[in-house]
């Protein structure tokens, strides 16, 4: 998922999910996600009626990123969607009507700006598809630290595996969020676009590129 919520679906009619399956996206102050979560949890603990509607703890999806600086490895935790908190909360009743009291109380929590999506300014639960994609993304990112590698358009890289292993190419597109690249590899006089993971290529060292240029 490149976005925390598919806004295009916001105006579409949809069946209200069961209480346990209702997920909402909260827009919160950037870099204050944890504080907003603690304030939400405090509200749910102190307000018995609100606490009864909570299905699971507020969620701030993260991943671990590994980078090398000065020859040493560092692992940092990075938020997948800065400025957003996911709330598994029965905000709508079985008939689809909105619990206005709960809505107002959540929006009044310190650190919360608003619900990220909605129709006529009313929050709508995420679709089952969006929830599924979110959980799959969280699971994928939890498999282990992801190496922080920076690629830029026009970088020269060498392919490390597959049918084009060992071939040099030029980066044409970068999808840093998914760790994907589109690389153009020239074969038989034509450029072949390849969609590759960061781990499937390696930057061509400056000295090697300089030698290649001088031999042309």
Long-range Cβ pairs for the range 137-140 (8 Å, 24+): 137/1, 137/61, 137/80, 138/61, 138/80
Lowest mean pLDDT among 152-166, 183-197, 201-215: 201-215
From the list 158, 19, 165, 34, the residue with the least C-alpha distance to 96 is 19
Task: Map residue 72 onto helix, strand or coil.
Answer: strand
Please, which residues bridge with residue 187 across strands?
190
CB 91 within 8 A of CB 16: no
Average predicted confidence (pLDDT) for the chain: 84
Task: Map residue 44 onto helix, strand or coil.
Answer: helix
3-state DSSP helix/strand/coil % of the chain, to nearest 5: 25, 35, 40
Please state the separation of Cα 202 from the chain's center in Å.
Answer: 24
- Indicate the pLDDT class of residue 197, thresholds 50, 70 and 90: confident
CB 24 within 8 A of CB 86: yes
Q: First CA to last CA across the chain, in angstroms? A: 43
pTM of the model: 0.65
From the list 181, 137, 178, 190, the residue with the least C-alpha distance to 160 is 181
CB 29 within 8 A of CB 36: yes
Higher pLDDT, 68 or 56: 56
Burial 193-205 (b: 16+ CB within 10 A, else e): ebebebebbebbe
Q: How many CB atoms lie within 10 A of CB 98?
A: 15
Tens digit of each residue's pLDDT (9 = 90 or more) over 170-185: 999 998 767 789 999 9
Structure tokens at 141: 């990112």
Instruction: Classify residue 93 by its DSSP letter.
Output: -
C-alpha 92/C-alpha 100 separation (Å) is 9
Q: Is the pLDDT of residue 160 over 60?
A: yes
Tens digit of each residue's pLDDT (9 = 90 or more) over 10-29: 444 568 899 999 999 999 99
Domains of the chain as residue ranges with CATH: 7-147 (3.30.70.940), 156-215 (2.30.30.30)
Q: What is the pLDDT of residue 201?
A: 86
């Amino acid at each position: 998922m490149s976005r925390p919520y598919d806004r295009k679906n916001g105006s579409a009619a949809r069946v209200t999910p069961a209480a346990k399956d209702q997920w909402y996206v909260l827009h919160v102050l950037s870099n204050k996600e944890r504080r907003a979560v603690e304030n939400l949890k405090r509200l749910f603990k102190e307000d018995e009626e609100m606490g009864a509607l909570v299905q699971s703890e507020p969620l701030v999806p993260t991943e671990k990123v590994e980078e090398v600086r000065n020859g040493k490895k560092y692992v940092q935790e990075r938020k997948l969607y800065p400025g957003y908190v996911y709330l598994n909360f029965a905000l709508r009743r079985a008939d689809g009507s909105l619990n206005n009291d709960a809505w107002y109380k959540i929006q009044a929590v310190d650190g919360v700006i608003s619900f990220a999506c909605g129709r006529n300014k009313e929050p709508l639960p995420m679709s089952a598809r969006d929830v599924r994609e979110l959980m799959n993304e969280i699971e994928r990112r939890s498999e282990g630290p992801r190496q922080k590698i920076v690629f830029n358009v026009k970088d020269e890289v060498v392919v490390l595996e597959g049918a084009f292993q060992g071939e040099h190419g030029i980066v044409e597109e970068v999808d840093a969020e998914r760790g994907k690249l589109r690389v153009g590899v020239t074969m038989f006089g034509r450029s072949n676009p390849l969609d590759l993971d960061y781990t499937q290529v390696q930057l061509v060292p400056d000295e090697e590129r300089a030698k290649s240029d001088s031999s042309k």
